[in-house]
A and B are shown apart, each in its own frame.
Chain A
Amino acid sequence: TQLLEQSPQFLSIQEGENLTVYCNSSSVFSSLQWYRQEPGEGPVLLVTVVTGGEVKKLKRLTFQFGDARKDSSLHITAAQPGDTGLYLCAGAGGVYNDMRFGAGTRLTVKP
């Protein structure tokens, strides 16, 4: 059973466009993390959100944690080709608070 649903699964846009990707669940999470993975490499942490309603900004990336701590979104402003990659959300839950991942959004930004 996949606890975290990410949408869209694939997204291809032109450089300079804005985009939002979503991470949704029916479960409440203690915290939620976003990672970016490039081909041939492991995922790298972008941000951790812990408080319901929290908004964090990382340059052109804005992360939001839902009030009920069941969902999150990642908004990228003026996307660049360097933003291309697989974006994964992961929620901490369960007995051991281990990180469970969504299936990811594969973003391609064309120059």
Chain B
Amino acid sequence: DTAVSQTPKYLVTQMGNDKSIKCEQNLGHDTMYWYKQDSKKFLKIMFSYNNKELIINETVPNRFSPKSPDKAHLNLHINSLELGDSAVYFCASSQGGLYSPLHFGNGTRLTVT
């Protein structure tokens, strides 16, 4: 029973393509996130959704578009992929609130060639 699951685990694609990553959580959490972890392991927040509404949108190129069909799902669509988009993308969820822990998926390793 995976709490936060994301697919695919690995994604290899060419520059210019469009791809999507899917995320689902079965924890009943209200808030979901996308984080990007670069090659130096720095984990940076990209987006946050609370009950299907976007509440955080960091300085991310508009080629990245999150979509939340319901509060258990948060997908990430990326248009016109670039070499610099190569990274590991993590989905996470939390109950929200000041002290709530983040529950992460196992990541999607995106490689753009």
5 contacts between A and B (CB under 8 A): A2-B42, A30-B98, A43-B90, A101-B42, A104-B41
**Chain B contacts to A: CB under 8 angstroms:** 4, 33, 35, 40-45, 48, 55-56, 90, 92, 97-99, 101-107
Nearest-CB residue, chain B, relative to A40: B106
Asked if A31 and B99 sit within 8 Å, CB to CB, the answer is yes
Which chain A residues lie closer than 8 Å to B45 at the CB level? 98-100
Which chain A residues lie closer than 8 Å to B44 at the CB level? 101
Given contacts A31-B98, A50-B99, A97-B98, contact A86 B104 (CB under 8 A): no
- Tell me the dominant secondary structure on chain B's binding face: strand
- Tell me the dominant secondary structure on chain A's binding face: strand
Of the residues B48, B98, B104, contact of A42 by C-beta under 8 Å: B104
A73 interface residue per 8 A CB criterion: no
Chain A: interface residue count, which band? 20 to 34
* Number of interchain pairs (Cβ within 8 Å): 59
A98 to B98, CA, bound (A): 8
Asked if B4 and A42 sit within 8 Å, CB to CB, the answer is yes
Asked if A40 and B107 sit within 8 Å, CB to CB, the answer is yes
Asked if A92 and B48 sit within 8 Å, CB to CB, the answer is no
A92 to B103, CA, bound (A): 15
Which chain B residues lie closer than 8 Å to A96 at the CB level? 48, 55-56
A46 to B55, CA, bound (A): 26
Asked if A42 and B41 sit within 8 Å, CB to CB, the answer is no
Which chain B residues lie closer than 8 Å to A11 at the CB level? none
Given contacts A2-B42, A98-B48, contact A42 B105 (CB under 8 A): yes
